[in-house]
C-alpha cells in the first residue's frame, strides 16, 4: 500500500481504540442531537397518545348512572315488625344485595352485550351505583332501568309480604278478641288497644314498603365520562410513548459507537473553529455541493470560518475540507465558504468528487467568481495538480471537499494539493473514534497544515437554488449581485 493509501485508510476512520479517548463523555451535550432527541420524544408522545386514545374508542358513548341507598327493610319501614327480617350487620346485608345486583347485571349483559354495565359500592357507604355505558343514551338508560326495576321489585315484594304477614297476624288476634269488645276493663281491653295500635303502624308501614329502596339520584347521564377516559388514556399513552422513545434512543446508543461531543476534541488537542455552521439535515448531506444560496445564518458563520481558513491579505490558498464521518457536511461547508468569498469579490474554485463516479470528462460549472469542478474517479492526478496550480497562479482560492463516500482515488489526489486541512464534524452524527482517527491522519500529511475542526449542525441552511445551465455552461450568475438583490 502506498503512503497516500495508508493516509486515506486512516482518514476513513480506524476501528481500533484511539489513544487519548475515554468513555466518560457526557450525554446529551451541546455537541449531540438534542433537537433530534426532542423530536423523537414528541413523535413518541404523539404515537403513544393516539394509540391510547384509540383503545378507548370502543368505550365512547353516554354513561347513565342511578344511585340508591341499600339499607335493611326495618330501617326504612321503622315499624314494630318483630316477625319481619331483622338485619343487624349492615355490611353483610349490603354485600348480599350487591351479589344479587351482580347476578342481574350478568343476566342483562347477556341480553344487551352492547351496553357496558357495572354495579359499584361507593366507598364504604350504603350507596350503590348501577351504571351503563352505550352509544345510545336510550339503550343505556333502558339497561340500567331493567336492573334497577328488578331489584326494587324484589325488595318491595319482600317488604310488603313481611308487613302484610305481620298485619294479618294482628288482625286475626283482634278478631279473636271481638267477643270481649263490650268488656271495657281488664287485660282484654288493654290487649285490644295494643293490637289496634300495632295495626295502625303496620298499615302505615305497608304504604312505606313501596319506597323501601331510597333513590338518591338518577337515572342521570354522564356524557363526560367517556371523554375523561379517552383523555386519561391519551395522556398515559403519550407518557408511555415518550418513555419508549427515550429507551430506544438510549438502547441504540449503548449498542452503537458513541456519538461525538464536540467538547471532547479540545481534550485531545484538536482546535475548534467557531462558530458552528448549519448544514441542513444529515440525511441530505454528502450528495455533492447543495447549489443553493446559503441562508443568512449560514453566510455569517461561513464568513467567520473563512477568516480562519483564508486569512485576508494572505493571497490565494488551497484548503481541503475532510468529512470526519459520514454525513458530516464537508461539501456543504466548502460550498458556503466558497459562496461568501465569491460574494465578497474573491475568485474561488471548488473541487468536489463527482456523484456518478464517472471516468470520462470532468464536468465543470463556472460562475463569474465561483467555479465548481466535479472530479471523476478516473481523473489523472497530474492533470488535477496542474489545474490547481493554475487556479492559484490566477489568483483564485482553491477549496477541495473530501466527502466521506468519495472514491479513494479522488481523495488520494486531493490531499497532497492542499496547503491547509480542516476536518468537518457533524454534530449528533459523527462518531468519536472516526473523527479522532481522521484528524490523526490529517496530522500526518507532512507539508499540509492541519488547522482544526469545523462543527456542523442540523439547522436549516439553504434558500433558493442557484440556476445553472448544466455541466460546462457559463452563465452570468454573480453571487455579489444575488446577495445585493436579496438585501
The rounded distance, in Å, linking the Cα atoms of 167 and 352 is 110
Cα–Cα separations (whole angstroms), residue 231 to 6, 121, 220, 240, 456:
61, 25, 22, 14, 41
Confidence tier at 51 by pLDDT (50, 70, 90): confident
Lowest pLDDT segment from 98-112, 334-348, 419-433: 419-433
pLDDT at 435: 84
Lowest-pLDDT range of 13-17, 76-80, 135-139: 13-17
Average pLDDT for the chain: 77
Which residue has better confidence, 483 or 324? 324
Q: CA–CA separation, 66 vs 471, rounded Å? A: 81
The span from the CA of 340 to the CA of 266, in Å, is 28
| pLDDT value of position 80 | 45
Q: Which CATH architecture has domain 62-222?
A: 2-Layer Sandwich (3.30)
On the CB side of 184, CA atoms within 13 Å amount to 1
In angstroms, the CA 12 to CA 402 distance is: 11
Assigned C-alpha cell, 300: 455569517
Could you tell me the strand order of the sheet in which 397-402 lies? 277-278, 449-457, 420-426, 318-323, 397-402, 348-353, 370-375, 364-366
Averaging pLDDT over each range in 141-155, 212-226, 238-252, 434-448, which range is the top one? 141-155
Q: What is the structure's pLDDT at 58?
A: 53
CATH number for the domain formed by residue range(s) 3-21+261-486: 3.40.50.300
Judge whether 351 and 400 are in contact, CB under 8 Å. yes
Classify residue 368 by burial, with Cβ atoms within 10 Å: 0-12, 13-18, 19+.
middle
Neighbouring CB atoms inside 10 A of 256's CB total 9
pLDDT in tens, 351-368: 998 876 554 344 455 467
318-323/348-353 β-pairing: unpaired
pLDDT at position 42 is: 84
The pLDDT of residue 22 is 34
Left, alpha or beta for 352 (phi > 0: left; psi -120 to 50: alpha)? beta
Checking DSSP bridges between strand 364-366 and strand 370-375, what pairing results, if any? antiparallel
Q: Tens digit of pLDDT for each residue in 282-302? A: 888 887 888 889 999 999 999
Taking only the tens place, the pLDDT of each residue in 384-422 is 899 999 999 999 999 999 998 887 877 788 888 999 999
Rounded alpha-carbon distances, angstroms, from residue 103 to 140, 214, 438:
18, 21, 76
What is d(CA 32, CA 455) in angstroms, rounded to the nearest whole number? 11
Residue 329 · residue 285 · CB < 8 Å: yes
C-alpha cell at 237: 399513552
User: Tell me, what's the pLDDT at 479?
Assistant: 46
For range 308-328, the mean pLDDT: 90
427-485 confidence digits (pLDDT tens): 878 887 788 888 887 766 667 888 999 999 888 999 988 866 444 343 334 444 444 44
Mean pLDDT for 268-283 is 87
Predicted pLDDT of residue 472: 39
Task: Please determine, for residue 233, whether its predicted confidence score (pLDDT) is greater than 90.
Answer: no
Domain locations along the chain: 3-21+261-486, 62-222
Given pLDDT bands bounded at 50, 70 and 90, which one contains residue 256?
low
Question: Between residues 13 and 296, which one has the greater pLDDT?
Answer: 296
For 150, list phi and psi in degrees, rounded to 5. -65, -40
Report which of 392, 384, 369, 439 is spatially closest to residue 416, judged by C-alpha positions.
384
CA–CA dist 159, 74 (Å, integer): 9
Of residues 446 and 177, which shows the higher confidence score?
A: 177
pLDDT of residue 261: 66
Mean local confidence (pLDDT), 137-148: 90
Can you read off the three cell numbers belonging to residue 285?
Answer: 448531506
Flag the least confident range among 46-55, 199-208, 248-257, 380-389. 248-257
Cβ neighbours of residue 58 closer than 8 Å, sequence gap 6 or more: none
Look at the block and give the residue holding cell 449581485.
481
Tell me the average pLDDT across 126-139: 88
Highest mean pLDDT: which range of 136-140, 212-216, 309-313, 335-339: 335-339
DSSP string for residues in 410-443: HHHHHGGG-SEEEEEEETTTSBHHHHHHHHHHHT
Name the residue among 482, 314, 281, 465 with its Cα closest to residue 397.
314
In this prediction, residue 306 carries a pLDDT of: 94
Nearest to 291 by CA among 397, 368, 367: 367
Asked if the model's pLDDT at residue 95 lies above 50, the reply is yes
**How many Å separate Cα 128 from the centre of its chain?**
41
Q: How far apart are CA 157 and CA 163, in angstroms?
A: 10
* Residue labelled with grid coordinates 497516500: 4
Instruction: Choose between 258 and 119: higher pLDDT.
Output: 119
Render pLDDT for 53-91 as a digit per residue (tens, 0 to 9): 777 655 557 888 998 888 887 776 764 444 334 444 578
pLDDT of residue 316 exceeding 70, the answer is yes
pLDDT at 356: 62
Confidence category of residue 278, pLDDT binned at 50, 70, 90: very high
* C-alpha–C-alpha distance, residues 248 and 236, integer Å: 18
Whole-number pLDDT of residue 8:
43
Which pLDDT does position 298 carry in this prediction? 95
Amino acid at each position: 500500500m502506498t503512503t497516500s493509501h495508508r493516509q486515506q485508510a486512516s482518514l476513513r476512520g480506524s476501528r481500533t481504540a484511539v489513544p487519548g479517548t475515554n468513555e466518560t463523555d457526557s450525554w446529551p451535550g451541546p455537541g449531540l442531537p438534542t433537537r433530534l432527541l426532542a423530536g423523537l420524544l414528541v413523535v413518541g408522545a404523539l404515537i403513544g397518545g393516539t394509540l391510547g386514545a384509540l383503545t378507548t374508542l370502543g368505550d365512547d358513548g353516554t354513561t347513565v348512572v342511578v344511585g340508591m341507598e341499600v339499607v335493611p327493610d326495618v330501617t326504612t319501614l321503622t315499624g314494630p315488625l318483630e316477625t319481619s327480617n331483622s338485619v343487624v350487620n349492615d355490611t353483610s346485608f349490603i354485600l348480599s344485595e350487591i351479589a344479587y345486583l351482580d347476578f342481574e347485571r350478568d343476566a342483562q349483559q347477556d341480553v344487551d352485550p352492547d351496553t357496558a354495565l357495572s354495579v359499584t359500592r361507593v366507598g364504604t357507604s350504603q350507596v350503590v351505583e348501577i351504571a351503563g355505558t352505550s352509544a345510545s343514551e336510550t339503550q343505556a338508560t333502558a339497561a340500567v332501568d331493567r336492573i334497577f326495576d328488578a331489584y326494587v321489585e324484589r325488595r318491595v315484594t319482600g317488604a310488603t309480604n313481611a308487613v302484610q304477614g305481620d298485619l294479618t297476624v294482628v288482625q286475626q288476634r283482634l278478631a279473636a278478641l271481638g267477643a270481649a269488645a263490650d268488656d271495657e276493663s281488664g287485660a282484654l281491653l288493654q290487649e285490644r288497644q295494643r293490637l289496634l295500635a300495632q295495626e295502625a303502624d303496620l298499615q302505615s308501614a305497608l304504604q312505606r314498603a313501596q319506597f323501601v329502596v331510597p333513590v338518591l339520584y338518577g337515572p342521570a347521564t354522564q356524557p363526560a365520562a367517556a371523554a375523561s377516559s379517552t383523555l386519561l388514556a391519551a395522556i398515559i399513552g403519550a407518557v408511555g410513548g415518550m418513555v419508549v422513545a427515550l429507551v430506544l434512543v438510549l438502547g441504540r446508543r449503548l449498542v452503537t459507537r458513541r456519538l461525538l461531543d464536540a467538547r471532547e476534541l479540545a481534550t485531545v488537542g484538536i482546535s475548534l473553529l467557531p462558530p458552528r455552521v448549519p448544514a441542513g439535515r444529515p440525511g441530505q448531506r454528502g450528495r455533492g455541493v447543495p447549489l443553493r444560496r446559503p441562508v443568512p445564518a449560514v453566510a455569517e458563520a461561513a464568513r467567520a470560518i473563512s477568516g480562519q481558513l483564508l486569512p485576508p491579505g494572505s493571497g490565494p490558498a488551497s484548503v481541503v475540507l475532510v468529512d470526519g464521518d459520514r454525513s458530516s457536511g464537508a461539501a456543504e461547508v466548502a460550498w458556503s465558504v466558497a459562496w461568501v468569498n465569491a460574494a465578497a469579490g474573491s475568485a474561488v474554485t471548488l473541487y468536489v468528487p463527482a456523484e456518478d463516479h464517472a471516468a470520462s470528462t470532468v464536468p465543470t460549472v463556472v460562475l463569474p467568481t465561483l467555479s465548481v469542478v466535479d472530479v471523476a474517479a478516473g481523473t489523472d492526478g497530474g492533470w488535477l495538480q496542474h489545474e490547481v496550480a493554475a487556479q492559484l497562479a490566477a489568483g483564485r482560492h482553491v477549496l477541495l471537499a473530501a466527502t466521506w463516500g468519495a472514491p479513494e482515488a479522488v481523495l488520494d489526489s486531493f490531499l497532497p494539493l492542499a496547503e491547509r486541512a480542516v476536518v468537518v464534524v457533524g454534530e449528533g452524527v459523527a462518531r468519536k473514534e472516526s473523527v479522532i482517527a481522521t484528524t490523526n491522519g490529517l496530522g500526518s500529511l507532512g507539508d499540509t497544515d492541519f488547522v482544526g475542526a469545523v462543527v456542523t449542525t442540523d439547522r436549516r441552511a439553504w434558500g433558493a437554488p442557484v440556476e445553472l445551465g448544466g455541466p460546462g455552461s457559463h452563465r452570468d450568475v454573480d453571487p455579489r449581485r444575488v446577495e445585493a438583490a436579496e438585501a
